[in-house]
């Protein structure tokens, strides 16, 4: 009986399947077809709903990285935020290639209150934090480079202010910070970072060193030269005494090592380079102030004259003094780096561009201009023959405070290029104020170079 019942139940189930198979097919086939169609149709995801989908469908934040650079100058503090892709190309932040915010006064204005000095950066730090996505902040380097303002403070005041800034960044804990990333930049560092900036914007980094350009930057108190040299010339670099800056820095940029010759010539800037009444335009009587000192700046009765002014410039540069103990020197007994392909193409910045534009031999509305050192001499010949009253109408772009010194400035610049750095008078050089990059004009300034260096060390 058991055998009969089992057989009956089995046949009953089978009979049921057979009996309803038509209905099963009618239901299952459309379901399968609809499912297949839904799978094959392209999905339509609203543009504003990307964050609600799994992370693999969202842009990968690792394809970009940020760097925050504080430029703590004498007149104020500035923050630069840059964004790079994996190839270290700049990515716009909003509509600009960088976030730039500034405030006054500078850190040096808080000499008696280091905590207040550090706190003065807080507003800028908050702006930088708002520009960097939260998920990337912990891996975003922040650097603070103080310049002329802190250099001039006495005693341990600069160190106490820098320590307060380090404490601020550490306690805030937003960005990645190291103690040696908060420092007073010397002229060599500024020169090196500007070399990096210009070559980066030109697309030269990552190439062999002969494809890079050299940089000369003339400021008020100093002049810097920087260019890449060969391994052989780097090995020949003179040893320096303890406490002195080395001539060659090794830099690793976009996957390549560069031997960068860089030297900052302190007290050889445009504002302190030459003293000599024979360089002052006729008709001016006054005093010249620099570094807390006053100097007589009255013109002689015969007015300014090119040749005596050239002699004064050579004397200021110590061209003829036997102070050079190396085979090749620039001026003031300084090794010249050995020359080579890295300095064949020179970009010359700051006051060189400004005076050339004011003297009228380059277009002030252009970002770059091709000139020869001889152009400075030609302009000086004209300026040195003029009286101050006539120069006012001839040179409307020159600031009235600078006009009496136009002969001096142009003569010094020519002498610096020819006798100081040994350029040929007819060699083509590029005066630069800004560099075009991705259809935008970018300032040829050191913070971008600092950002590129710190980002290169991460790749």
Cβ contact 346:214 at 8 Å: yes
Closest CA to 76 of 159, 165, 158, 149: 149
Instruction: Count CB-CB contacts under 10 A for residue 159.
Output: 13
Closest CA to 82 of 93, 95, 72: 93
State the pairing for strand pair 142-146/214-218. Answer: unpaired
Q: Could you give the C-alpha distances from 101 to 76, 105, 122, 451, in angstroms and in order? A: 11, 13, 12, 16
Separation between Cα atoms, residue 449 and residue 205, nearest integer Å = 11
- Of the candidates 11, 51, 190, 453, the residue annotated as catalytic is 190
Could you write out the DSSP letters of every residue in 254-279?
TTEEEEEEEEEEET-STTTS---GGG
Could you write out the DSSP letters of every residue in 66-131?
EEEEEEE-SS-EEEEEEEEETT--B--BTTBSSEEEEESS-GGGGTT-HHHHHHTTHHHHHHHHHH
Dihedral over Cα of 326, 330, 332, 335: its sign: negative
Separation between Cα atoms, residue 343 and residue 265, nearest integer Å = 17
Cβ contact 128:79 at 8 Å: yes
- Note if 190 is an active site residue: yes
Going by C-beta distance under 8 Å and a sequence separation of 6 or more, which residues neighbour residue 339? 233, 328
Separation between Cα atoms, residue 267 and residue 98, nearest integer Å = 33
Catalytic machinery residues: 190
């Amino acid at each position: 009986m058991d055998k009969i019942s089992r057989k009956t139940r089995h046949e009953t189930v089978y009979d049921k399947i057979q009996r309803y198979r038509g209905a099963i097919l009618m239901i299952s086939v459309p379901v399968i077809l609809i499912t297949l169609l839904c799978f094959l149709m392209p999905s339509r995801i609203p543009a504003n709903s990307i964050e609600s989908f799994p992370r693999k469908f969202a842009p990968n934040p690792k394809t970009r990285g940020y760097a925050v650079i504080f430029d703590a100058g004498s007149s104020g503090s500035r923050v630069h935020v840059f964004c790079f892709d994996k190839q270290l190309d700049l990515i716009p932040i909003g509509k600009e290639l960088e976030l730039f915010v500034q405030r006054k006064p500078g850190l040096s204005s808080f000499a008696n209150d280091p905590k207040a000095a550090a706190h003065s950066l807080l507003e800028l730090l908050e702006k930088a934090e708002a520009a960097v996505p939260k998920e990337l902040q912990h891996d975003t380097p922040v650097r603070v480079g103080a310049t002329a303002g802190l250099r001039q403070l006495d005693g341990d005041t600069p160190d106490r202010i820098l320590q307060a800034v380090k404490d601020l960044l550490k306690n805030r804990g937003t960005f990645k910070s190291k103690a040696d990333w908060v420092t007073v930049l010397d002229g060599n560092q500024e020169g090196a970072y500007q070399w990096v900036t210009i070559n980066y914007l030109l697309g030269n980094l990552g190439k062999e060193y002969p494809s890079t350009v050299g940089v000369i930057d003339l400021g008020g108190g100093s002049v810097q030269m920087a260019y890449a040299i060969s391994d052989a010339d780097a090995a020949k670099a003179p040893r320096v005494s303890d406490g002195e800056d080395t001539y060659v820095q090794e830099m690793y940029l976009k996957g390549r090592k560069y031997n960068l010759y860089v030297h900052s010539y302190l007290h050889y800037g445009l504002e302190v380079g030459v003293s000599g009444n024979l360089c002052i335009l006729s008709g001016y009587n006054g005093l010249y102030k620099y570094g807390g000192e006053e100097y007589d700046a009255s013109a002689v009765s015969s007015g300014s004259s090119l040749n005596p002014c050239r002699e004064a410039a050579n004397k200021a540069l110590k061209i003829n003094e036997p102070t050079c103990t190396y085979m090749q020197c620039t001026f003031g007994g300084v090794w010249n780096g050995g020359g080579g392909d890295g300095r064949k193409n020179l970009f010359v910045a700051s006051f060189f561009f400004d005076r050339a534009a004011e003297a009228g031999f380059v277009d002030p509305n252009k970002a770059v201009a091709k000139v020869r050192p001889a152009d400075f001499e030609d302009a000086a010949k004209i300026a040195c023959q003029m009286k101050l009253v006539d120069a006012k109408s001839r040179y409307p772009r020159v600031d009235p405070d600078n006009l009496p010194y136009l002969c001096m400035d142009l003569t010094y610049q020519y002498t610096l290029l020819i006798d100081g750095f040994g350029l040929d008078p007819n060699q083509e050089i590029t005066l630069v104020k800004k560099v075009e990059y991705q259809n935008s004009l970018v300032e040829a300034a050191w913070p971008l170079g600092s950002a590129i260096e710190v980002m290169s060390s991460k790749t």
